[in-house]
Amino acid sequence: MDALKVLIARRAPAEVVHKLSAHFVVDYHDGAEPLSPDDLRARLQGKVGVYVTGTERITAELLATCPELKVVCTMSVGYNHIDLDACTARGVLVTNTPDVLTESTADFGFALLMATARRMSEGERLLRDGGWKSWAWDFLAGAEVHGSTLGILGMGRIGQAIARRGRFGFGMKVIYHNRSRLAAEAEAELGARYVAKDELLRQADHLVLVLPYSAQSHHCIAAPELALMKPTATLVNVARGGIVDEEALAAALREHRIAAAGLDVFEGEPRVNPVLLTLPNVVLTPHIASATLPTRQAMAHLAADNLLAALTGGMPPTPLNPQVLSA
Ligand code: 8YV
């Protein structure tokens, strides 16, 4: 039997490329930039499986032009770049990489909260620019973190890991809102209280967004939501840029209707809304919340293990639409 053909659509660790090459005929895109949609379509012809990252969009239109494709494995926990329903309808298995990135992403979310609340980037910029001339009682005075109220919108695995850091590391009061409420034992273990979204916005001193991006969550933090927040509040987004209306956020930050924001994700990234770049009270990072080498390696191996299992008759470890396996 001829070896199966797969595409690795984005640069991956060498061991992962070797692992897949031992089983399949691998077409490897090792360029620094993502493939264009046209190049992705062309390179997918004749392939039964593909390893992608968050930058490759798998749409219904693309699937229609790739009838041989059976498995899409993304090296990401988020899968808003993949039309899951269209994949399921065509019997295409989709897998993602949950769990392995939870703790690193929560570490980063908390770091971004701290940097934002305590004005670290602003302080470093001022120092590097020679602006540190003297001391004043309120020089770069920020918001308190310990003992304050941590609000979490989206209480999945990463939200819960951030809640633990806040509750047990910093003695914070934790409130959250989520599509579904956690079980009473989980709430008790985290010391977290479920509240309505409006109450979350009103009460949080630091609001962290960790919900999945979808048509329902698009711009779910916009002018009306920002208007409910405290003028002293910090907003942190480590989920997806499209969750926040960036124009409304920029206006709220400029007019000090909220104190500060820490953003790791942007609508239309890697482009960043130019207004945000001009504001001192926002910490901007280039979508690196999961970026530790061990975590990125674990994500890449998990994506490859999913591809391997799916195409060699095994059980993929983390399928998103397992129903296609039994169909
Ligand atoms: C990745 C992420 O950096 O896993 C996700 O959903 O957003 C990040 O961890 C990126 O999407 C890798 O594909």
The closest-lying atom of ligand 1 relative to the alpha carbon of residue 97 is 4
User: Would you say the CB of residue 75 lies under 6 angstroms from ligand 1?
Assistant: yes
Task: Please state the rounded mean pLDDT for residues 308-322.
Answer: 97
Candidates 240, 246, 267, 301; catalytic one: 240
Give the chain's length: 327
Residue 216's pLDDT is: 96
User: Would you say the CB of residue 54 lies under 6 angstroms from ligand 1?
Assistant: yes
User: How does pLDDT run across 190-222, given as a tens digit for each residue?
Assistant: 999 999 999 999 999 999 999 999 999 999 999
Q: Are 206 and 236 in contact (CB under 8 A)?
A: yes
Residue 1's pLDDT is: 63
User: Would you say the CB of residue 300 lies under 6 angstroms from ligand 1?
Assistant: no
Task: Please state the rounded mean pLDDT for residues 68-84.
Answer: 98
Residue to mutate (ligand 1; options 264, 299, 302, 318; most atoms within 8 A of CB):
299
Backbone angles phi, psi at 113, to 5 degrees: -60, -50
pLDDT above 70 (res 51): yes
Residue 225 bears catalytic tag: no
User: How does pLDDT run across 235-284, given as a tens digit for each residue?
Assistant: 999 999 999 999 999 999 999 999 999 999 999 999 999 999 999 999 99
SS (H, E, C) 79-142: CCCECHHHHHHCCCEEECCCCCCHHHHHHHHHHHHHHHHCCHHHHHHHHHCCCCCCCCCCCCCC
User: Would you say the CB of residue 102 lies under 6 angstroms from ligand 1?
Assistant: no
Residue 240 bears catalytic tag: yes
User: How does pLDDT run across 85-130, given as a tens digit for each residue?
Assistant: 999 999 999 999 999 999 999 999 999 999 999 999 999 999 999 9
Residue to mutate (ligand 1; options 290, 292, 320; most atoms within 8 A of CB):
290
Give the predicted TM-score (pTM) of the model.
Answer: 0.97
Task: Please state the rounded mean pLDDT for residues 225-238.
Answer: 98
User: Would you say the CB of residue 78 lies under 6 angstroms from ligand 1?
Assistant: yes
Residue 327's pLDDT is: 80
Residue 103 bears catalytic tag: no
Place of tokens 């993304």: 74
